[in-house]
Amino acid sequence: MIQIDVYKMLQTADGELPLDISLAIKKGQFVSIYGNSGAGKTTILRVLSGLTKAEKVNIKVEESIWDDSNKKFHLPIQKRSIGFVFQDFALFPNLTVKENLEFALSKNDSKEIVSELIELMELQSLQNSKTENLSGGQKQRVALARAIVRKPEILLLDEPLSALDDEMRFKLQDYILKIHQKYNLTTIMVSHSIPEIFKLSDQVIVVDKGKIVKEGTPETVFTEQKVSSKFQLTGEIINITKSDIVYVVQISSGNNIIKVVATEDEVKEYKIGQKVLVASKAFNPIIQVLI
């Protein structure tokens, strides 16, 4: 069990904002932290890892105390059993992929874990490359592998997949899940993506303006507010044509062109170039598997 109580003044674009949260995470769980930018999500990870100090903080991991501001106790970052994956990867440009992983070893550690992780993350062909030549997805795999070398109890992921395209995201989500299960980690991930949270996490914590506003399983937290049988799209009118007694309005939304039927009275209010909302309450969506 990880018990975290934090109080810290955050400096945000809109002035000061107190981050005041208290949360308990069970061992082995995958927990996501969701919320708007500047809500204090990353700060929670940073305080837990010891990278950021807080005015008041109590952190207890299993039986050991990591932070106790009443007793002015602060366990140094180096002694906390964590793996941290930074948003911008933070790979060491002077080292190769393999050396980045080996850097994390302590003096007497066996190098076995490094080869094991290189294999698990499918980095064999890249292991002697310098990290600056890698693609975003490859860098992320190296960062993930490096964070596991010390076999930490807790894996902290700060928006690990935000810089990647969809295909890469799906692949890396599988890697994250694989690692989480294989090494019995307790994983805490900051994420903006609801599908990602659904796919990966057991628990989700919604943070807004420095407070926890909701917590529970992804289903209970997101179902009521985000998922419904109603479809809504925004787009722009690109053409209006008359077809027999009705009008056809063409709307461009994302990569799609949608055709909607309208009456003569309705068309009078529309202009080409207008931004519009297309909504439908009852129809039969078809789901097609893409990958």
Partner 1 sequence: MINLDPLWLTAKLALITTMILLVISIPLCYWLCYSRFRLKAVVEALISLPLVLPPSVLGFYLLIAFSPENAFGKFLSDYFDVRLVFTFEGLILASVIYSLPFMVNPILSGLKNLPPALQEASFTLGKSRFTTLTKILLPNIRASLFTGIIMTFAHTLGEFGVVLMVGGSIPEETKVVSIAIYEEVESMNYDNANVYAGILFLFSFSILLAVHLIHNKSRKTTLY
User: Is 53 or 56 the residue whose CB approaches partner 1 more closely?
Assistant: 53
CB of 92 closer than 8 Å to CB of 67:
no
Ordered alpha helix ranges (H), the chain? 41-49, 97-103, 112-120, 136-148, 166-182, 194-200, 218-226, 264-267
Least separation in angstroms between CB 114 and partner 1 = 13
> 154, 150, 156, 141: which is closest to 184 by C-alpha?
154
Q: Does 197 bind partner 1 (CB under 8 A)?
A: no
Least separation in angstroms between CB 207 and partner 1 = 22
Cα atoms in the 13 Å half-sphere on the side-chain side of 80: 25
> 154, 140, 117, 133: which is closest to 30 by C-alpha?
154
Considering only residues 232-291, where is the footprint of partner 1 by CB under 8 A? none
76 φ, ψ (degrees, to nearest 5): -60, 150
Considering only residues 24-43, where is the footprint of partner 1 by CB under 8 A? none
Q: Does 77 bind partner 1 (CB under 8 A)?
A: yes
User: Is 32 or 49 the residue whose CB approaches partner 1 more closely?
Assistant: 49
- Count of residues of this chain found to bind partner 1 when the rule CB under 8 A is applied: 24
Cα→Cα distances 122→16, 119, 165, 279, Å:
44, 5, 19, 44
Least separation in angstroms between CB 185 and partner 1 = 14
> 189, 240, 171, 143: which is closest to 34 by C-alpha?
189
User: Is 90 or 261 the residue whose CB approaches partner 1 more closely?
Assistant: 90
User: Is 67 or 249 the residue whose CB approaches partner 1 more closely?
Assistant: 67
Least separation in angstroms between CB 56 and partner 1 = 20
User: Is 85 or 197 the residue whose CB approaches partner 1 more closely?
Assistant: 85
Considering only residues 82-101, where is the footprint of partner 1 by CB under 8 A? 82-84, 86, 88, 90-94
Least separation in angstroms between CB 45 and partner 1 = 11
Least separation in angstroms between CB 75 and partner 1 = 12
- Stretch 96-135: interaction string toward partner 1, x if CB under 8 A: -------xx-x-------------------------x---
- Helices 112-120 and 166-182, axial angle in degrees (round to 10): 140
Q: Pick from 121, 123, 149, 221 the residue near partner 1 by CB under 8 A.
A: 149
Q: Which residues pair with 9 in a beta bridge?
A: 18
Least separation in angstroms between CB 134 and partner 1 = 11
Q: Pick from 54, 147, 161, 176 the residue near partner 1 by CB under 8 A.
A: 147
209 φ, ψ (degrees, to nearest 5): 45, 45
Q: Which stretch binds partner 1 (CB under 8 A): 28-36, 62-70, 77-85, 278-286?
A: 77-85
203 φ, ψ (degrees, to nearest 5): -130, 150
DSSP string, 190-210: E-S-HHHHHHH-SEEEEEETT
Burial classification of residue 156, based on how many CB atoms lie within 10 Å of its CB (0-12 exposed, 13-18 middle, 19 or more buried): buried
- Helices 136-148 and 166-182, axial angle in degrees (round to 10): 10
Chain residues that interact with partner 1, rule: CB under 8 A:
49, 51, 77-80, 82-84, 86, 88, 90-94, 103-104, 106, 132, 146-147, 149-150
